[in-house]
Structure 1
Amino acid sequence: MQQHDETRLKIPKPLGVVAFLSLFLLGMVGYGMTGQAGTLAGKGVAVITLHEVADGIKNPAVVAPADLEAMVVAARKAGYNFISLQEFHAYMEGKGQVPPRAVLLTFDDGYRGVYLKGHPVLVAHKCPAVMFPVTKWYSPYPRPEMSLPHLTAEDTLTMLNSGLWGFGGHTHDGHRFLPAGSQGRRVYFTTGQAWLAGEFRYETREEYLARVWADIQLMSLELRRLGIEPVDFAAPYGQMNEDLERLLLEAGYRYLYVEGYRLNYPGQHLIYRVDGGTTADQFLNALSIAFRNRGS
Structure 2
Amino acid sequence: MRNLIYKTLNLISPVFNIVLKHRLRVLAYHDIVDPINFEKQIKWLKANYNLIDLPTLKEYLFQSKSLPAKSLLITFDDGDRSVFEHALPIFRKYQVPACLFVITDLIDSKKDFWWDTIKKNEAKSGLSNAEIMKIININKGSSNKDRLDFLKKYPVTQNHQLSTVEVKELILSGVYIGNHSHTHPMFDKLEKDELLEELQNVHSFFDMNRIGDYSVFAYPNGNFSEDTEKLLMENNIKIAFLFDHKINERTINPLRISRIAVDSDNSMSEFKSKVSGLHSTITKMKKG
- TM above 0.5: yes
Q: CA deviation at 1:97?
A: 2.5
SS at match of 2:106: helix
Q: Deviations over 1:206-228 (max 9, x none)?
A: xx111111111111221233332
Higher helix content, 1 or 2: 2
2:25 equivalent in structure 1: 46
Among 200, 217, 224, the alignment partner of 1:217 is: 200
* 1:275 aligned partner, one-letter code: A
Aligned-partner Cα distance in 2 for 1:76–1:286: 16
Among 167, 176, 183, the alignment partner of 1:166 is: 176
Aligned-partner Cα distance in 2 for 1:75–1:224: 34
**Measured at CA, do residues 215 and 118 of structure 1 come closer, stay the same or move farther in structure 2, by a change above 3 Å?**
same
Aligned-partner Cα distance in 2 for 1:127–1:103: 11
1:255 equivalent in structure 2: 239
1:121 equivalent in structure 2: 90
**Measured at CA, do residues 281 and 291 of structure 1 come closer, stay the same or move farther in structure 2, by a change above 3 Å?**
closer
1:276 equivalent in structure 2: 262
Are 1:52 and 1:111, in contact at CA under 8 Å, matched by a contact in 2?
yes
User: Is 1:234 matched with 2:196?
Assistant: no
Between 79-88 and 140-149, the greater mean CA deviation after superposition: 140-149
Gaps of 5+ in 2: 1-20, 118-156, 282-288
Aligned-partner Cα distance in 1 for 2:83–2:28: 13
1:30 equivalent in structure 2: none
User: Is 1:70 matched with 2:40?
Assistant: yes
| Higher-Rg member (1/2) | 1
Q: CA deviation at 1:75?
A: 2.1
1:154 equivalent in structure 2: 165
2:189 equivalent in structure 1: 192
Aligned-partner Cα distance in 2 for 1:80–1:255: 23
**Measured at CA, do residues 81 and 120 of structure 1 come closer, stay the same or move farther in structure 2, by a change above 3 Å?**
same
Are 2:108 and 2:161, in contact at CA under 8 Å, matched by a contact in 1?
no
Superposed CA RMSD = 2.6
Aligned-partner Cα distance in 2 for 1:271–1:147: 33
Q: Deviations over 1:59-111 (max 9, x none)?
A: xxxx311111111112233x211111111111122432222111100001001
Higher strand content, 1 or 2: 1
Aligned-partner Cα distance in 1 for 2:273–2:279: 10
* 1:47 aligned partner, one-letter code: V
SS at match of 2:162: coil
Are 1:111 and 1:148, in contact at CA under 8 Å, matched by a contact in 2?
no
Aligned-partner Cα distance in 1 for 2:220–2:158: 16
Aligned-partner Cα distance in 1 for 2:160–2:181: 17
SS at match of 1:259: coil
Bigger relative contact order (CA 8 A; separation at least 6): 2
Q: CA deviation at 1:259?
A: 2.3
1:289 equivalent in structure 2: 277
